[in-house]
A and B are shown apart, each in its own frame.
Chain A
């Protein structure tokens, strides 16, 4: 009983993450300006961190969390460079 409830909750969480991912991808495709696309790229990176944590939970391997650490460090570098480019052409 508890096992089935656990699996159901994990599946619900995966479905919600996938829905958020698809909505953000929709904004990335049809965003009017390139600033909207940069914001959508940032949000996609953060949702990918959540997906990587899901993968680590499902595969039971702690080494997968290192990739999430690299993403958390590197996600803001690209956003800062694009912001500087949009601001005054670097």
Chain B
């Protein structure tokens, strides 16, 4: 494929991912009413960061971020939240 078109397409994907990451980070900070929504938004920030690492040319960092940041952290947050509050909060 043409190198110019390829670089521009990757740049457009990076910009779109940055925009989505800003939106998700704003939701993670601002949703003070409900804790599960904030944790889901934090997981989404981690997922988009992983795709950005991949586009910037670091597949090993992207794999670690996908396994730990997006998978294990969300798992651990919801496990601890269910253990602490005993299922008292439903939104």
Name A residues whose Cβ lies closer than 8 Å to a Cβ of B: 6-7, 10-11, 14, 18, 21-22, 25, 28-29, 33-34, 37-38, 41, 44-45, 48, 51-52, 54-55, 58-59, 61, 63-64, 66-67, 70-71, 74, 77-78, 81-82, 84-86, 88-90
> Are A90 and B67 in touch, CB under 8 angstroms?
no
B1 in complex: contacting residue of A10, A28, A88, A89, CB < 8 Å: A10
B32 within 8 A of A: no
B51 within 8 A of A: yes
- CB neighbours (8 Å) of B79 from chain A are 81, 90
A7 to chain B, nearest CB (A): 6
How many pairs, one residue from A and one from B, have CB atoms within 8 Å of each other in the complex?
114
User: CA of A5 to CA of B9 in the docked complex: distance in angstroms?
Assistant: 16
Name B residues whose Cβ lies closer than 8 Å to a Cβ of A: 1-2, 5-6, 9-10, 12-13, 16, 20, 23-24, 27, 34, 36-37, 40, 43-44, 47-48, 50-51, 54-55, 57, 59, 62-63, 66-67, 70-71, 74-75, 78-79, 81-83, 85-88, 90-91
Residue of A nearest to B26 (CB): A29
Query: Which 8 pairs across A and B sit closest by C-beta, in order of nearness?
Result: A89-B87, A90-B82, A74-B71, A78-B74, A85-B78, A81-B78, A85-B82, A89-B82
> Are B70 and A74 in touch, CB under 8 angstroms?
yes
Residues A55 and B74 in contact in the complex (CB < 8 Å), given A7-B5, A45-B47: no
> Are A48 and B59 in touch, CB under 8 angstroms?
no
A41 in complex: contacting residue of B9, B13, B40, CB < 8 Å: B40
User: CA of A15 to CA of B74 in the docked complex: distance in angstroms?
Assistant: 30
> Are A44 and B16 in touch, CB under 8 angstroms?
no
